[in-house]
Amino acid sequence: MTATHADGRIARGNRTRQLILERAVAIASVEGLEGLALGRLAGELNLSKSGVFALFGSKEELQLATVRAAIKVYIEHVVQPTRELPAGIGRAWCLCRSWLTYSERRVFPGGCFFYSVSAEYDAREGKVHNTVAGAHGNWFSFVEQTIEDARKVGEVRDDIDIPQLAFELVALLEMANAESVLHHDRTSYGKAANGILNRLRGISTDPSLLPDTP
């Protein structure tokens, strides 16, 4: 087998894997990770079941790969827009706005992928639970670090309980997502944005650094 032929097979395999994972994250955001099946994906994408099985090997491996693929999408839409911004309260606000936009625009058809699968796997054990829990923990840590960075540059008061604040901000974000998905009512995003902005203005050393309205 020539190197060119081998490279071509690898490239085709990577494209097929990406196609499968794009469909898998969409299904899982609506139906959960248990809604994934190698045979179903093969049928919907007009692929051979044996070919799909060769790429993932088992349903659990497919689920793990789906979570990892969703993490990349999440970083692209929520985290990446804030990375070039200077540390400060404005960056914390931008992070929350990016999250609300990600949910409202239905980057995943079922709303926030991780809100959905966290509820599905919160009381379970195993590799999938651990991967989902790890992603959730990393998100909280990133929110906390964003607030801590704002405090270091003097834009957040020193007496703020950062884990508590991060919990409150994430709770508002997730409630907006849940209400929107359940009731098909997107006014929840405006309510969450107002609540978050008011909370950030209350802990900022200079509220003028934040907009007056969302």
- Kindly tell me if the per-residue pLDDT of 94 is higher than 60: yes
If one looks up domain 59-209 in CATH, what number appears? 1.10.357.10
- Kindly tell me if the per-residue pLDDT of 4 is higher than 70: no
* pLDDT tens digits for range 56-74: 989 999 999 999 999 999 9
Task: Quote the CA–CA distance of 175 and 191 in Å, as a whole number.
Answer: 10
- What pLDDT sits at residue 188? 98
- What pLDDT sits at residue 26? 96
Average pLDDT of 104-113? 97
- What pLDDT sits at residue 151? 98
- Kindly tell me if the per-residue pLDDT of 119 is higher than 70: yes
- Kindly tell me if the per-residue pLDDT of 9 is higher than 80: no
Diameter of the chain by CA atoms?
Answer: 66
The DSSP 8-state label assigned to residue 85 in this structure reads S
- What pLDDT sits at residue 149? 98
Please, what sign has the CA dihedral across residues 69, 64, 78, 147?
A: negative
The DSSP 8-state label assigned to residue 156 in this structure reads B
Task: Quote the CA–CA distance of 71 and 65 in Å, as a whole number.
Answer: 10
Task: Quote the CA–CA distance of 135 and 158 in Å, as a whole number.
Answer: 28
* Count of other CB atoms within 10 angstroms of residue 88: 22
Q: What is the pTM of this model?
A: 0.92
Task: Quote the CA–CA distance of 28 and 93 in Å, as a whole number.
Answer: 29
- Residue boundaries of the structural domains of the chain: 59-209
